[in-house]
Copies of this chain bind each other. A is one copy, B any other.
Amino acid sequence: MIKTVLVGLVCGAVALTLGVLIGHFGITNNSSSAPSWINDIGKDVDENIVEKFLSEVDRLNIEENLRELTKVPHLATSEGDEQTVQFMLKRWQDPESGLDKAWREEYEVYLSFPDAKNPNKVTVGESFLEKEKNYTKDQEDPDIVQPYAAYSPAGQPKGKLVYANQGKPSDYELLNRTVDLRGTIAITRYGGAGRGAKAINAAPYGVIGVLVYTDPLDINDGLMSDINETYPHSWYLPPSGVERGAFGSQYGDMLTPYLAAKEETYRIPFKNVTGVPPIPIQPIGFEDAYRLICELGGEGAPTEWKGAFNCTYNFGGPGFKPESAFNNSDVKMAIFNQDVIKNSSNVMGVIRGSVEPDRYVIYGNHRDSWVHGAIDPSSGTSVMLELSRVLGKMVKEGKWRPRRSIIFGSWGAEEFGLIGSAEYTEQYFTMLSERTIAYINVDIAVFANATLRASAMPSLQNILFTATRQVSAPGLDSTSVYDNWVQFSNRTSPTHGLGKKIKKSQTSHLFPQSKTNARIYPAYHTAYDTFHYASNFIDPGFFSHQAVARTAGNVLIRLADSLVLPLNCSDYAESLEDYLNKAVDLYQEKLSSRNISMGRSLLEFKSTFSSFGFLCFSPEPLKVRRINDQLMLLDRAFLNPLAFPDKYAYRHVIWASSSANVGTFPGLADAFAKADSSGQTGDWEKVHHHMSMLSQAIDGAAGMLENVI
């Protein structure tokens, strides 16, 4: 999974207010007979601590962390995974630079592995699916899991081959107009649809097996040769490289929805699990895909279906050209994946807050990888370890303790569907709901030596601006990340002006950018994602890693130490307004004709949100806490466990995922799309129903910002 800097949750007050508070407490502190705790209770972020943190973060330590973490493959629950558990514990329990406390949390989770004794095979007369080719010793490690599709069922389908582009519903529909798909094996390329969706979309047409490969067009800027073009000559994927992955679409352990997967926990029958492939599916390298696709018969596929191979992409007769050596052959898949419940660990660590230990800022990344996982996820883990070392050292030396508690999480089994973090939130749901300020996730820290991706609630824009202003861009000592950003951005915001607006899931190109169209770094989820690869092709010198560690750590310190939480409600309002404007444009006319009103609350929230930052308040600690609670809990008002009855685990009426993919309220967009297409009264009623839930949620959020009584 790819997330770089994901900062979660809620909304903020203006910096001016902070100034007032600092001043007041400055005076109060001089009074010698005030109780001693009054010093701590009024303390704000200490810029000297921030400076000290920034200067102590050392790229060479990050490099050493990465070397250590990537010594052996560390697939979830493997021996190598256990070694990383021990390593994390050792570091977080270090007497000189560890945390206050570190421990492991274990879950019994449902995973899927190939059978080591009975490898998966694809054959067309001869056998395909060789191991990935060795270029360094890393690829020789016997513990490397051979390429497979986790959660693909076992099975041995045999049939004529067809080419189905990216395996989207529209791809199969188009293909099916020309070719009878019943009993065929479809070869697809990565992209366009989720991994498992390529098989889920295929099954209704009678397809019995699916292959998936990475086309050099999508990942290698078209390059294919390992003589001089691909790794180890460059960062590009070698011809035998295969992207592994989880082919389920659920979050968390599939058998224990909403429950932590402990030994005695109830598990749903596997037949009730949705979102997994109904037919065998297997990923292969483009070397193999080239030989298969270029031999296919039948009509030529549309231009958009074409990748970088120097041959025509045909649909398949079904099957191969008459003149092909494969001729009339079937493709045979022999898939021996096994589902198994195994013990997976999160490693947790905390620094206890001095003043508000019951407020948590959480920082996490997963620990498990598909193979050596140097970039995914160990680049992020190396950054986390350096950041926690610097903070831990300051704590152990008595130089600093955060106002709020900091919780670090090193999640297990993420590659199988965010399992470790999901089980953790399920287990500690109430505590986390009531006490968490924000969650910061840094997974792949760097992947192209060119890009910072920051995705967060809009209220966190400001803190990212503050942090990036204080960090030098890698290799540009006199230019801050922020200045660089303004230079490279062409987005505008009514509040922040040019180049200062971060939206959910928006990519910002902060650093001089490599010329590549790769959708992600080419070695992603392969046996080439190694320390050698990372240190030679992704971030030689680890300057980018260092910049990410400084930025993320700066954000973390500010969230943990600010007297008033640095969250900005106006920015939240601005995003809501974008959504509203879009909804008015797209829906209002049709809704009015059906007597569905856009809802008063949708039109009135803005003033409440915008004015919150300008509230006046005194320095009394319970008043500050009250404001902070309003900020922290504002976002909870948008949660409604009944809002998305068809979408597992989604509750947030603003930021839930949407199938409609329009930049507006997700549930409204999906309900509208469905009603508009079906025209059924019942579907229009669902639009109205969701509109009311949305309206009530926005009212509730605005209410959280109003005077508390």
Interface on A for B, CB 8 Å cutoff? 28, 31-35, 37-38, 41, 256, 258-260, 264-266, 268-269, 350, 352-353, 355-358, 360, 405, 407, 426-431, 434-435, 597, 599-600, 618-622, 625-626, 629-630, 633, 636-637, 641-642, 685, 688-689, 691-693, 695-696, 699-701, 703-704, 708-709
Contact = CB atoms under 8 A, between A and B. Distances in A.
Contacts of A357: 626, 708-709
Given A357-B709, A430-B637, A625-B625, A34 B34 contact: yes
8 contacts: A28-B35, A258-B693, A260-B696, A264-B599, A266-B689, A269-B685, A357-B709, A435-B708
Contact of A426 (B264, B268, B696): B696
Contacts of A265: 692, 695
Which 6 A/B pairs are nearest by Cβ-Cβ distance? A358-B708, A430-B637, A266-B688, A266-B692, A264-B597, A266-B689
Given A31-B33, A259-B696, A625-B625, 20 more contacts: A34-B34, A34-B35, A34-B38, A37-B618, A37-B620, A260-B696, A264-B692, A264-B695, A266-B685, A266-B692, A357-B709, A358-B709, A429-B696, A429-B700, A430-B633, A430-B703, A431-B703, A434-B629, A622-B625, A641-B642
B31 A692 contact: no
Contacts of A41: 620-622
A692 B255 CA distance: 13
Contacts of A356: 622, 626
A204 B298 CA distance: 63
A405 B259 CA distance: 36
A456 B381 CA distance: 49
Given A430-B701, A622-B41, A266 B708 contact: no
Contacts of A33: 31-34
Identify which of A32, A360, A434, A685 gathers the most chain B CB atoms within 10 Å of its CB: A434
Contact of A259 (B35, B597, B620, B693): B693
Nearest to A624: B622
B696 A427 contact: yes
A264 B434 contact: no
A259 B427 CA distance: 29
Contacts of A641: 641-642
A50 to B, nearest CB: 23
A352 B32 CA distance: 33
A259 B699 CA distance: 12
B258 A642 contact: yes
Contacts of A625: 622, 625
A271 B60 CA distance: 69
A621 B42 CA distance: 12
A627 to B, nearest CB: 9
A288 to B, nearest CB: 43
A405 B708 contact: yes
A357 B629 CA distance: 12
A497 to B, nearest CB: 33
A626 B358 contact: yes
A599 to B, nearest CB: 6
A704 B636 contact: no
A153 to B, nearest CB: 23
Q: Which of A33, A431, A597, A699 has the most CB of B within 10 A?
A: A431
Nearest to A598: B264
B350 A709 contact: yes
Nearest to A358: B708
A315 to B, nearest CB: 45
A690 to B, nearest CB: 8
A31 B34 CA distance: 7
A405 B622 CA distance: 14
Contacts of A28: 35
B430 A709 contact: no
Contacts of A691: 266
A544 B38 CA distance: 48
Contacts of A642: 258, 641
Contacts of A701: 430
A258 to B, nearest CB: 6
A404 to B, nearest CB: 9
A626 B264 CA distance: 32
A405 B707 CA distance: 12
Contacts of A32: 33
A140 B37 CA distance: 69
Contacts of A699: 427
A678 to B, nearest CB: 17
A636 B434 contact: yes
Contacts of A700: 427-431
A265 B595 CA distance: 11
